[in-house]
């Protein structure tokens, strides 16, 4: 028998392997990655805020002698929440009231004396200078009474600062003081917010803000709520006119409807915006690929992409949201590249 050269065996082996590989690669089903058209929903993380939230601080020094509010309480407008020791202020107000009474008594005497001096002047019993002195004394006493009245009003106002009332109806969020604590001017006593007026605030890139669908309200997702109540449609959308120079983002505020139960300031929220894509906007739009083409291996997520020779190459990608039978590819794929729709068949090709 004639021996077959080794190089002929190598060529035959190479031909025997290459033929089926090329046949399988040609039979792979693939689709071109294309940018989404129409409008694509993009999610942006945000936080729930209260439109009306205030930190009530002390205006006068003194010990907290009564505390009628705790965190979580619903209060009415004008309701007494806290009292500060007002004994010194009450005594000061009483002293000013006594001074007012004394000044009024002096004014009454000066008024009667001025009336007598006018009668005497009409009968030519006193001079013009004496009448003017009596009139001046009456006006001076009257001015003193007005000053004492002003001081008494200020003392009563100062005394009223020792009673802390709710500026509006709402819910007590925090009470950082306890009974007996020393209140000082500017020290926070409690935090109050209105649960009927809440909003979601997010930061969106300025490029996205420029392409937002005009007149269309986004959807708000509240993952902290029970299933079935996590999606809310806002009643108003406000885009602030300023751009953050550090992050190049714009603040977007979505007012929530009144009566959404279980929502409180500080909760995590997600705002879904419908951003038009296609044309010039498609350059930055996510690419869509079929869901069956996704390959997940441990912590790796990828796609089989056909190279210029038609061979499948596994490439790692970063995915976005799923939309029906399509999945967004945020990075790792270029528009027009062909993605294999059957990753198992592509994996068998060597």
Range in 42-51, 138-147, 153-162 with the lowest mean pLDDT: 153-162
**Radius of gyration, CA atoms only, the chain:** 41
Domains and CATH numbers, the chain: 42-52+196-283 (2.40.30.170), 55-84+162-193 (2.40.50.100), 87-160 (1.10.287), 286-347 (2.40.420.20)
Contacts with 3 (C-beta within 8 Å, 6 or more apart), sequence order: none
Instruction: Give me the pLDDT at residue 198, please.
Output: 94
For the cut 90, the answer to whether the pLDDT of residue 256 exceeds it is: yes
For the cut 80, the answer to whether the pLDDT of residue 243 exceeds it is: yes
What is the spatial distance between Cα 154 and Cα 146, in angstroms, rounded to a whole number? 12
Percent share of the chain, pLDDT over 70: 85
Residue 279 pLDDT class (50, 70, 90 cuts): very low
Instruction: Give me the pLDDT at residue 274, please.
Output: 73
Averaged pLDDT, 235-249? 89
Percent share of the chain, pLDDT over 90: 35
Averaged pLDDT, 132-143? 90
Distance of CA 221 to the CA centre of its chain: 14
Instruction: Give me the pLDDT at residue 288, please.
Output: 85
Of 143, 138, 118, 137, give the one whose Cα is nearest residue 128. 118
What is the spatial distance between Cα 18 and Cα 88, in angstroms, rounded to a whole number? 101
Residue 18 pLDDT class (50, 70, 90 cuts): very low
Instruction: Give me the pLDDT at residue 25, please.
Output: 54
Range in 137-151, 253-267, 314-328 with the lowest mean pLDDT: 314-328
Instruction: Give me the pLDDT at residue 213, please.
Output: 62
Tokens for 143, please give them. Answer: 């001015």
Residue with tokens 């649960």: 195
For the cut 60, the answer to whether the pLDDT of residue 13 exceeds it is: no
Range in 13-22, 67-76, 167-176, 288-297 with the lowest mean pLDDT: 13-22
Angstrom CA distances, 200 to 257, 276, 320, stand at 11, 22, 22
Beta carbons of 338 and 306 less than 8 angstroms apart: yes
pLDDT (tens digit, 9 = 90+) per residue, 163-208? 999 999 999 999 999 999 999 999 999 999 999 999 999 998 888 8
For the cut 60, the answer to whether the pLDDT of residue 280 exceeds it is: no
Query: Beta partners for 198?
Result: 50
For the cut 90, the answer to whether the pLDDT of residue 76 exceeds it is: yes
Tokens for 81, please give them. Answer: 């929440």
Q: In what order do the strands lie in the sheet with 170-174?
A: 53-57, 188-193, 170-174, 74-75
What predicted TM-score, i.e. pTM, was given to this entire model?
0.59
Supply the mean pLDDT for the chain.
83
φ, ψ for residue 314, nearest 5 deg: -75, 125
For the cut 80, the answer to whether the pLDDT of residue 139 exceeds it is: yes
Query: Beta partners for 220?
Result: 232, 271
Residue with tokens 């007598």: 116
Averaged pLDDT, 144-167? 88
Residue 10 pLDDT class (50, 70, 90 cuts): very low
Q: What is the 3-state secondary structure (H, E, C) of the chain?
A: CCCCCHHHHHHHHHHHHHHHHHHHHHHCCEEECEECCEEEEEEEEEEEEECCEEEEECCCCEEEEEECCCCCCEECCCCEEEEECCHHHHHHHHHHHHHHHHHHHHHHHHHHHHHHHHHHHHCCCCCHHHHHHHHHHHHHHHHHHHHHHHHHHHHHHHHHCCEEECCCCEEEEECCCCCCCEECCCCEEEEEECCCCEEEEEEEEHHHHHCCCCCCCCEEECCCCCCCCCEECCCEEEEEEEECCCCCEEEEEEECCCCCCCCCCCCEEEEEEEEEECHHHHHHCCEEEEHHHCEEECCEEEEEEECCCCCEEEEECEEEEEECCEEEEEECCCCCCEEECCHHHHHCCC
Most confident of 107-111, 165-169, 309-313: 165-169
Averaged pLDDT, 344-349? 85
């Amino acid at each position: 028998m004639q021996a077959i050269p080794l190089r002929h065996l190598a060529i035959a082996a190479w031909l025997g392997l290459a033929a089926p590989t090329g046949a399988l690669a040609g039979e792979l089903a693939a689709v071109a990655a294309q940018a989404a058209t129409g409008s694509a929903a993009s999610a942006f993380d945000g936080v729930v805020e209260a439109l009306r939230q205030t930190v009530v601080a002390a205006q006068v020094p003194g010990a907290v002698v009564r505390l009628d509010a705790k965190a979580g309480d619903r209060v009415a407008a004008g309701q007494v929440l806290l009292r500060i020791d007002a004994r010194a202020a009450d005594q000061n107000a009483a002293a000013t009231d006594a001074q007012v009474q004394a000044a009024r008594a002096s004014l009454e005497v000066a008024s009667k004396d001025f009336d007598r001096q006018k009668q005497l002047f009409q009968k030519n019993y006193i001079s013009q200078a004496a009448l003017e002195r009596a009139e001046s004394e009456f006006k001076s006493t009257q001015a003193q009474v007005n000053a004492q009245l002003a001081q008494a009003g200020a003392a009563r106002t100062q005394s009223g600062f020792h009673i802390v009332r709710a500026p509006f109806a709402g819910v007590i969020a925090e009470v950082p003081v306890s009974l007996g604590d020393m209140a000082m001017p500017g020290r926070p006593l409690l935090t109050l917010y209105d649960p009927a007026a809440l909003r979601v605030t997010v930061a969106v890139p300025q490029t996205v803000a420029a392409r937002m669908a005009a007149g269309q309200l986004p959807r708000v997702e509240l993952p902290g709520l029970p299933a079935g109540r996590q999606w809310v449609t806002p009643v108003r959308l406000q885009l602030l006119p300023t751009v953050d120079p550090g992050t190049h983002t714009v603040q977007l505020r979505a007012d929530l409807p009144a009566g959404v139960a279980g929502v409180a300031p500080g909760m995590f929220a997600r705002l879904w915006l419908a951003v038009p894509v296609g044309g010039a906007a498609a350059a930055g739009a996510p690419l869509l690929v079929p869901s069956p083409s996704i390959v997940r291996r441990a912590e790796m997520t990828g796609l089989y992409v056909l190279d210029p020779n038609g061979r499948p190459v596994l490439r790692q990608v970063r995915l976005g949201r799923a939309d029906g039978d399509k999945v967004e590819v945020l990075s790792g794929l270029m528009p027009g590249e062909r993605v294999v729709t059957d990753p198992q068949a592509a994996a068998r090709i060597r």
